[in-house]
Amino acid sequence: MKCPACGVADSKVIDSRPVEEGYSIRRRRECKACQKRFTTFEIVETEQIIVLKKNGAKELFDRNKLLSGLLKACQKRPVNAEEIATEIENEIKNSLVHEITTTEIGEIVMRHLKEKDEVAYVRFASVYREFKDIETFLKELKQLKKK
């Protein structure tokens, strides 16, 4: 590993610890030339998931986009959007699919939010399902109340 201070590629590992529930390793290193210490992270390289958008475009799965939508839906609610994003991301990655539609992602998000917090679920649903009027909104609330 190349030292960020002097650029020498010879360093030794001082300490290693698993982070992110064991999905990556944090290593403290020391440069053998200048003795500066620095931190590196090692993660398992996974195959990228392609998201098929409604307009036919394809893009790489972006956890930050998922988290952004969850943060808006969960704002001022007693739920952890970061935790939900991790659960959803893991579910998608564990499904072993290489391509997933935005619709499928939306349905997964809806299912997770419905289990965690009904208000966050309705907030997300109002944007995701593009409620056009109050009747559509009320219909969704009635279905939620039945369950």
Per-residue pLDDT, averaged over 69-75, amounts to 94
40-66: pLDDT as tens digits:
998 877 778 999 999 999 999 999 999
* Position 101 confidence tier, pLDDT thresholds 50, 70, 90: very high
CB 1, CB 29: distance < 8 Å: yes
Single pTM value for the model: 0.64
Q: Is the pLDDT score of 104 beyond 80?
A: yes
- Which distant-in-sequence residues (6+ apart) come within 8 Å of 147 by Cβ? none
